[in-house]
Amino acid sequence: MKEDTTILPFCQSETIVDPLTELARQGARRMLAEALKAEADAFVASFADEQLEDGRQRIVRHGFGPERKIQTGIGALDVQRPKVRDRMASCDGAEKIRFTSNILPKWARRSISLDALLPVLYLKGISTGDFQDALSAIMGPDAPNLSPSVISRLTAGWQVQYDAWARRDLSARHYVYIWADGVYLQARMEENAECMLVIIGATPEGKKELIGFQVGLRESAQSWHELLTDIKGRGLSVAPEIAVGDGAMGFWNALDKTFPGTKHQRCWVHKVKNVQNCFPKQMAPAVKSDLDDIQHAGTRAEADAALAVFSEKYGVKYPKGVACLTKDEEAMLAFFDFPAEHWGHLRTSNPIESVFATVRHRTVRTKGALSQKTAKLMVFTLIQAASKKWLRLKGRNQLPKVIEGIKFNDGVEVTNDTENRAA
């Protein structure tokens, strides 16, 4: 047999080597090493002007730390963290400048993606005793050794994180826009499970953050009032400019009691479905097209005209469908009073739906129901992992203007010139 044969030698199942996976690991190992070196070099370069009395550079590279394994989605990677030395600290006791890697924190043993995998397995119905087998099937024989006791410690740590997050001070926070929804999960929960009440907010910098999260009743104003009151009680004193959500919730009554100055914007995705339910199924595409003409109109006047056409077209034969739309007319079109760059964000509660779409497809009803407490903890952990990838709002430069109270007409900032032209 030629030495360059492509035939792989036979191995026992537990020792099979996948050349593709191994190649990916080698590439990942090299990329990680290069990224860590570049990060350390950039840190040293940022202190290039810092020198000792003898002219030597104060901050210099100082070899590597001991090799250790980091568990990732493609298995274990052997890495060495670059070390940086502060020469001045050893000379005269000056405050030491320390290098901390953002890529590989000092005590990290698992990648963030692997931490996110664990609650997914839990919600899928895998018991803690079966975690090791599941991880070995996914990651190979180098999977981390997660015994039931280790998993218990991890979940306890997640509980601590949730408790700290739920008690955090919000006095320094300001959310310009908020999105609210009550989400039911087909997860490993009781048959009569309550839903997850979720509130996401947009900061003045355009960053989306999870503000409130608890188990409750979607239609209950009391459940929403408890959540909003808790948020306000922890220091959120400035009312959001506008809130986005579905009309079939107790949220709106609770919002008016807690933040009476906040404008209402009903979610168009929910409204389209509700209106379509009042029509025969075969008419759904035509009805949606007519509704799109309203929500995607360039001005409020054009939207009003399209709504009038809709009412005239369907009012005689399908009055319930028309009434379903027109009863919330003002709340459906509130977004016209905000920057046009933000209309795509404000017309729907998609920031919440997109988050839970990921959670939903990972969760199924299985035998052995989770308690509400456990389900809440696991879903919260998944949301926190997902939040690291949330995109910022478009037109972030417009948010300070909204905060200042500058008015917008049809998405355009109202100035003296625009007022004069209107006159």
Q: pLDDT at position 365, please?
A: 42
Q: pLDDT at position 396, please?
A: 82
The amino acid that residue 245 corresponds to is: G
Q: pLDDT at position 293, please?
A: 96
d(CA 190, CA 193): 5
Q: pLDDT at position 415, please?
A: 83
CB of 387 closer than 8 Å to CB of 213? no
Q: pLDDT at position 71, please?
A: 61
Q: pLDDT at position 38, please?
A: 78
pLDDT digit string (tens) for 310-344?
Answer: 999 999 999 999 999 999 999 999 999 999 999 99
d(CA 14, CA 11): 8
- Give the N- to C-terminal CA distance of the chain in Å, as an integer: 91
pTM of the model: 0.68
d(CA 308, CA 322): 10
Buried b (16+ CB within 10 A) or exposed e, 183-216: bebebbbeeebbbbbbbbbbbeebebebbbbbbb
Q: pLDDT at position 256, please?
A: 95
Considering only CA atoms, which of 411, 387, 391 is closest in space to residue 401? 411
User: What residues have CB less than 8 Å from 113, skipping those under 6 apart?
Assistant: 72, 73, 385
Q: pLDDT at position 264, please?
A: 96
Q: pLDDT at position 369, please?
A: 45
d(CA 375, CA 189): 7
d(CA 98, CA 252): 50
pLDDT in tens, the chain (423 residues): 445 554 444 444 344 455 555 655 565 566 667 767 777 888 888 888 888 878 888 888 888 877 777 666 555 667 777 888 888 776 665 678 888 776 666 656 555 555 555 665 655 555 555 656 655 555 555 555 555 566 666 677 778 888 999 999 999 999 999 999 887 765 444 455 567 888 999 999 999 999 998 888 878 889 999 999 999 999 999 999 999 998 878 899 999 999 999 999 999 999 999 999 999 999 999 999 999 999 999 999 999 999 999 999 999 999 999 999 999 999 999 999 999 999 999 998 877 776 666 555 444 444 444 566 766 777 787 777 777 778 888 888 899 999 999 999 999 999 866 555 554
